[in-house]
Structure 1
Amino acid sequence: MNDQATLALQCVENYLAASMAADPVKAAYYTAPDFICRFTGNREFRTTSGPTEFNAARYKWVKKRILRTDVIAGNGETIVYSLGYLYGEWPDGTPFDHNRYVDRFVVRDGLIVETDVWNDSAEWILDPSCRREP
């Protein structure tokens, strides 16, 4: 892995750690001023507190079990994919696990400029019979 890819991976890992700790102030340290985060359903957030607040309303708590990270370095831009499972509790306290997720990060100059987030949560909320409970 080249220096650009290594720096981007470290940035994303640090951002994810802060995000999972529900610390948007620390997460913001790893984002560019023009940061944008798009959640499933085309919800857009321009600050790191947006996803934290959205998740606080959707889950009692949620964490990521990262299974794989792919890094693709290009001309001044690195794409990082994080894949795995979400686990946690719904607002009513019901536990969940094996909720697939994919996060795509665009990193420039050592900072995250874009994030796209996809997971099974919306489908599981619409049709609880799709859930894989722990």
Structure 2
Amino acid sequence: MPVVRVLLIEGYGAQVRRRLGQALTDAVRLVIDAPKDAVIVATEEVAPENYMRGGETRQPGRAVADPVEAVQTFLGLMSARDLAGAQACLAPGAEMVFPGGRRFTALADMVAWGATRYAQIDKSFEGFDVSMGAAGPVVSCRGTLSGVWTDGTPFSGIRFTDRFELTAEGLISGQEVWNDLGEARAPA
């Protein structure tokens, strides 16, 4: 049974410590064949005045925002067509890549392009997966699309996967989209 001991400087809230414990449990299970309930993560805390590095006392580092929540917020704002709110979720220079290699850096351009493909679209989520990329967190979400084609015909059950790259500050720096809309698209 794997045991992970973590020493933190006091100051992190319960939610941050819980997220850390869950992430460490998942990291162990990526390397060691152990059932989830066999992995123990024990977190201990030390007062800042009792922690020194390089002969200096230190303060705890900033907790990173939950990357799944950041993506869910962005997607919710996009669904509501709150482009100003959604733009605030993007890092400068963020790029969105859609099927067919369509690249966008402006949300308004992406929405205008989408309007040529469908009159309305909604996402139903089946799950979110998080990993660590070279520059920050990576969140993948998957599920199905439903909506209305431009001719008024409804559609549903179309698979999609979105992959988001985030900065350490929790801003989206890139999005890649894969879906079966092209295969399911109603004839024009």
Matched residue type, 1:114? G
**What are structure 1's unaligned runs of at least 5 residues?**
129-134
Seen in structure 2, the aligned counterparts of structure 1 residues 38 and 76 have a Cα distance that, compared at 3 Å, is: closer
Residue 72 (structure 1) aligns with: 131
Structure 2 counterparts to residues 52-71 of structure 1, below 5 A: 52-71=111-130
Counterpart CA distance in 2 for 1:60 and 1:76 is: 36
Structure possessing the higher radius of gyration over alpha carbons: 2
Seen in structure 2, the aligned counterparts of structure 1 residues 21 and 90 have a Cα distance that, compared at 3 Å, is: same
- By relative contact order (CA 8 Å, sep 6+), the higher-ranking structure is 1
Residue 42 (structure 1) aligns with: 101
Paired residues of 2:149 and 2:186 also in contact (CA < 8 A):
no
Q: How far is 1:85 from its partner?
A: 0.3
Seen in structure 2, the aligned counterparts of structure 1 residues 74 and 100 have a Cα distance that, compared at 3 Å, is: same
Residue 4 (structure 2) aligns with: none
Residue 132 (structure 1) aligns with: none
Residue 175 (structure 2) aligns with: 115
* Match among 69, 72, 77 for residue 10 of structure 1: 69
Number of residue pairs aligned between Structure 1 and Structure 2: 127
Counting aligned pairs with the same residue, the percent is 31
Q: Deviations over 1:33-63 (max 9, x none)?
A: 1100000100000122222222222111001
Find out whether 1:23 has 2:93 as its counterpart.
no
Q: Report the 3-state secondary structure (helix = DSSP H, G, I; strand = E; otherwise coil) of the residue aligned with 2:86.
A: helix
**What are structure 2's unaligned runs of at least 5 residues?**
1-18, 21-62
Q: Could you tell me the TM-score, scaled by structure 1's length?
A: 0.86
Paired residues of 2:68 and 2:139 also in contact (CA < 8 A):
yes
Q: Could you tell me the TM-score, scaled by structure 2's length?
A: 0.63
Matched residue type, 1:50? D
